[in-house]
């Protein structure tokens, strides 16, 4: 059953290693971030602030949401069908809950955070 799918697999893999995946090959030249990637990233994020540019704040700043404490994530989306925001806020909430539980488990008080 798998024969038609596996036929020539070893041959095509060998050819890929020769022309695409080799050192200085097409994949390395086109799909790697390059020599100065870390420096560029560091410069781009030097002034990035989590509290101002995280998803909830970003949605408010761009006029996509307004603060609303009655909503599950504290925001009311101004566009009803906006999957990026709706899904993103669910993921944001899940990560926030996990991190909050983790931190509270290991640091029950603010003093313990400060002394660590």
Q: In whole angstroms, give the CA distance from residue 116 to residue 110.
A: 10
Average model confidence (pLDDT) across the chain: 88
Q: What pLDDT score was predicted for residue 88?
A: 96
Instruction: Check residue 2 and give its pLDDT.
Output: 65
In the predicted structure, residue 9 carries a pLDDT above the cut 80: yes
Domain ranges of the chain: 48-115
Nearest of 57, 54, 87 to residue 75 by alpha carbon: 57
Alpha carbons 99 and 101: distance in angstroms, whole number: 5
pTM of the model: 0.62
């Amino acid at each position: 059953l798998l024969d038609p799918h596996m036929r020539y697999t070893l041959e095509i893999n060998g050819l890929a290693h020769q022309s695409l995946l080799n050192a200085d090959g097409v994949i390395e030249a086109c799909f790697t971030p390059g020599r100065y990637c870390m420096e560029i990233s560091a410069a781009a994020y030097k002034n990035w602030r989590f509290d101002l540019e995280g998803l909830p704040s970003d949605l408010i700043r761009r006029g996509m949401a307004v603060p609303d404490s009655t909503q599950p994530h504290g925001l009311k989306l101004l566009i009803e069908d906006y999957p990026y925001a709706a899904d993103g806020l669910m993921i944001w909430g899940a990560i926030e809950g996990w991190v909050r539980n983790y931190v509270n488990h290991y640091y029950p008080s603010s003093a313990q955070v400060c002394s660590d």
